Amino acid sequence: MLVISICILPSCKKKKGCTDINSISYDNEAEVDDGSCKVAGAGGNVTLVARPQHHGTPILNTASYPDTAYLKFNTQDSPGYNPSSFDLVVPGIHIGEDHVEVEGLRPGKYFIMMTGFDTTINERVIGGIPLIITAEFGEVVLNVPVVE
């Protein structure tokens, strides 16, 4: 028995779009990837200004314990506390500043963890939150809650 399948346009056209679920431009109806996916990572034009805050109080960068930003690309979930689980680690470089600048990011999904030292309680503080960057360029300012 011979079966012939005939495709009548436009029913044969598959919807094009971003098929990468980690992308901020993901289209769950897309069947064919068209290259429009925007995924997190280095190589972009966005600067993240990440500010660790302990109970709303800014944590200042110190020489003996610099504030540090840890970024995991293409996820909204924490990879844990091991620095090697992150894709990018950026220490604060200016003593006394209340932020860490992470330059050259692309639009996408991130998880950011920050560490610092709260001199008012003499303890290390750490915390993290998910982040979505939609901008193609410029600065994104983010307060990151940290706890002891």
Picking from 31, 30, 137, 128, the residue whose alpha carbon sits closest to that of residue 75 is 128
Query: pLDDT by residue (tens digit) across 67-112?
Result: 999 999 999 999 999 999 999 999 999 999 999 999 999 999 999 9
Query: Residue 17: which region, alpha, beta or left (left: phi > 0; alpha: psi -120 to 50)?
Result: left
> What gap in Å lies between CA 77 and CA 75, rounded to an integer?
5
- Within a domain: 69: yes
- Within a domain: 137: yes
Picking from 50, 7, 55, the residue whose alpha carbon sits closest to that of residue 141 is 50
Q: How far is CA 125 from the centre of its chain?
A: 20
CATH number of the structural domain spanning residue 124 = 2.60.40
- Within a domain: 139: yes
Domain that holds residue 54: 42-146
- Within a domain: 3: no
Average pLDDT for residues 5-15, to the nearest whole number? 62
Question: Tokens 């193609």 identify what position?
Answer: 136
Number of domains in the chain: 1
Prediction pTM value: 0.85
pLDDT-derived band at 1 (thresholds 50, 70, 90) equals low
- Within a domain: 27: no
Query: For residues 26 and 113, which has the higher predicted lDDT (pLDDT)?
Result: 113
